[in-house]
Amino acid sequence: MENKISVITVVFNDVVNIRKTMESYFSQTWKDKEYIVIDGGSTDGTVEIIREYSDRLAYWCSEKDDGIYDAMNKGISHVTGDWINILNSGDYYVSNGVLEDAISSIEEKNVDVIYGNSIAKGRETEKFIVASPDISKMENHVIYRHGSSLIRTEVQKKYTYDLKKRRSLGYALDWDMIYRVYKAGYIFRKVDVAIEVYDEYGTSNHIFRNLWYNYLVISQGKFKFYIFIKLIINILVTAFNISPFYSYVKAIGVEYMINDVLPNIPFWSLRKSYLKLLRMKIGIGTFIMKKNYFLSPWLFSIGNNSHINRGCVIDARGTINVGNNVSISHNVNLITGGHDIQSRHFNGLFEKITIEDYAWLGIGCTILKNVHIGKGAVVCAGAIVTKDVPDFAIVAGVPAKIIGEREHDLEYHCIGYQPLT
């Protein structure tokens, strides 16, 4: 499978951000790539910065265009690679290896669109945006950020941005393109890689306008009653979610109930019912003791026959997935949140934790964000885990290091239910 990646950046009068975006491309470890920059005739110094890199660009121009999507189409026409990624000015890659990680995660030759997760950068925080792996949800809404995807060049050139729809769809022409590709039956694959950091307060982040554009894209210009009803419901739900009243409901129904009332209820069946009501996924035969502290329980899932003891802090804001037959001892900390210590605004960072089947987390250990605990791995008491732990490895210390290996032939269930605990 040929895997040359063509990255396109479109820009207009963004002298503050263009260098950061371009440097993000040049820092990528994936070698087989090309860079195309389309400037809309900037007059603020942007062109001078682009010119500094001109000898490293496959193509660039600075001329008046008919808007951002016209510029993207222009960039697409100059692509010679096998895959296309759009990296808008002001956006940048999560790390130096994301293109390599994304393209290397796909082994099938028939995949047409690769997409991953994103990070929304606010003025003082960063949110980890998890793209859904369920492509059927495209029937209701776009499930990933345009910039956090790679699309085969032959598909992208067939499905360019439809400039005739600009008046009705505004900034949603990328959503329209993605939806048309989906409806045409092309194959999408989710990779568990955060690809793009984007500005949370950018052009396309207007809540109610997004809902309206989403309706227009899904209906494709035709009135469909059931889609219209969904639009009305989404508007009402969104209006409630951003109202001050919602904050009070959330504080009482989630934070207070989960962490002040629920820990004192002695019946697991009642606690489990409430946690499931909040969309926590709990497998068959799994038991969670009292006196645990949860953040964002709806982003926490745990498999079958697993057990969580008392006193644990489970911060699932960046998503936590726990497998089957996992034993989590007392006072364990699962922390998906943190802060960028170099950020002037102390920006928040949230990344996923995954704990595979048969793992055992010892008393008082801490698992930090963006860590994968392998199948059958053991984390010893008091260890602080900052890096991935291989399957069946035994780790200990601060920071945790491998000190041994566990038996591979594991066949037990964690049966930990005790009445009134």
Please list, in sequence order, all residues whose beta carbon lies within 8 angstroms of the beta carbon of residue 398, skipping any fewer than 6 positions away.
382, 383, 384
**Would you call 339 a catalytic residue per the annotation?**
yes
User: Of 339, 345, 408, 413, which residue is the catalytic one?
Assistant: 339
DSSP 9-35: EEESS-TTTHHHHHHHHHT----SEEE
Residue 211 tokens read as 């809902």
Residue 391 tokens read as 């399957």
Please list, in sequence order, all residues whose beta carbon lies within 8 angstroms of the beta carbon of residue 293, skipping any fewer than 6 positions away.
259, 263, 312, 313, 314
Residue 398 tokens read as 């601060």
Give how far the C-alpha of residue 167 lies from the chain's centroid of Cα atoms, to the nearest Å.
Answer: 30
Residue 131 DSSP label: P
Count CB neighbours of 224 within 10 A. 12
What is the distance between the alpha carbons of residues 109 and 38, in angstroms, rounded to a whole number?
A: 30
What is the distance between the alpha carbons of residues 199 and 183, in angstroms, rounded to a whole number?
A: 29
List residues with catalytic annotation.
339
